[in-house]
Amino acid sequence: MSKGAVLVDWRDNVALLTLNRPERRNAVDLESLLLIREAQVEAEKRKIRALVLTGTAPAFCAGADLAGVREEVFHELLSEVLLGFTQLPCVTIAAIDGPALGAGAQLIVACDVRVATPTSVIGVPAAKLGLVVNHWTIERIVREFSWPVAFHVWVQSNDWELLMMRLLGLVTLPSLRHSLFAVTKLRWSRVQASHLLMLWLLRVASKRWQVMMRAREEKHLLKSDHRSSRVRDVN
């Protein structure tokens, strides 16, 4: 197992990535993101079946730590990490124990599956200040869940506990803290090649659906603009 801001443990067909900055409640800094990105690249080389992302107690990830780094550099790397989770040829699981706030919420949304303990909370505190996350994250949560869920999390800045997360579909499977990784590993270490193929097909279908919906929206906007111009010409 590696040491530092992110612990990486390769177990059979499963990679366990643990955010390890408990003194900062696992807020991700530039080093954390670099280590996660390196682990993503290595996971693809090893052809693992599942990658689990979790955090050292007392939190999953309390947000972003921008100390000593330019904000645009941090967000560029964060975007690369988020996209990296969606492009891995394996199942990605967020094993949540405690708060997942801000950048932590973005990380769990980027994963395929979310498992959470009863003490888990998901939220975006910055939304209360009128700030928004990047466009990719908003699109992702709308596509993965629904527009109402995105509205409540990102616009109304509500924090969700386990029961509400289950009702909204934000969490796939509940778990107790002591069995969080055990349940996750048992369930996903047996993923077969056919399952990974199905995962890839689902991702492709999701992207195609998104492209189709964008095209329909653009076509609708063009028609609306054309009608408006005709009305102005008549007047």
Please determine, for residue 131, whether its predicted confidence score (pLDDT) is greater than 50: yes
Please determine, for residue 8, whether its predicted confidence score (pLDDT) is greater than 80: yes
Minimum mean pLDDT range among 33-47, 84-98, 114-128, 193-207: 193-207
Predicted TM-score (pTM) of the model is 0.75
CA-based torsion, 167, 20, 27, 17: positive or negative: negative
CA-based torsion, 160, 91, 46, 34: positive or negative: negative
Average pLDDT over residues 110-135: 79
User: Mind listing the pLDDT tens digit for each residue in 9-25?
Assistant: 998 788 899 999 999 99
Residue 225 CB burial class (10 angstroms; 0-12, 13-18, ≥19) = exposed
Q: Would strands 14-19 and 6-11 be described as parallel, antiparallel, or unpaired?
A: antiparallel
Let me know how long the chain is.
Answer: 235
Counting residues of the chain whose pLDDT is more than 70, the rounded percentage is: 60
Please determine, for residue 204, whether its predicted confidence score (pLDDT) is greater than 80: no
Average pLDDT over residues 4-8: 95
> At CA 173, angle to CA 169 and CA 175, rounded to 5?
135
Predicted local distance difference test score (pLDDT) of residue 91: 84
Please determine, for residue 127, whether its predicted confidence score (pLDDT) is greater than 70: no
Predicted local distance difference test score (pLDDT) of residue 191: 47
Rg (CA), the chain: 19
Average pLDDT over residues 65-73: 85
The amino acid at 115: V
Best CA proximity match to 154, nearest among 190, 172, 129, 191: 129
Please determine, for residue 211, whether its predicted confidence score (pLDDT) is greater than 50: yes
Residue 59 per-residue DSSP state: -
CA count, 13 A, side-chain hemisphere, 2 = 19
Q: Report yes or no: 23 and 65 within 8 Å, Cβ to Cβ.
A: no
Predicted local distance difference test score (pLDDT) of residue 231: 46
Average pLDDT over residues 109-137: 80
Q: Which 3 state secondary structure label does DSSP give 183? A: helix
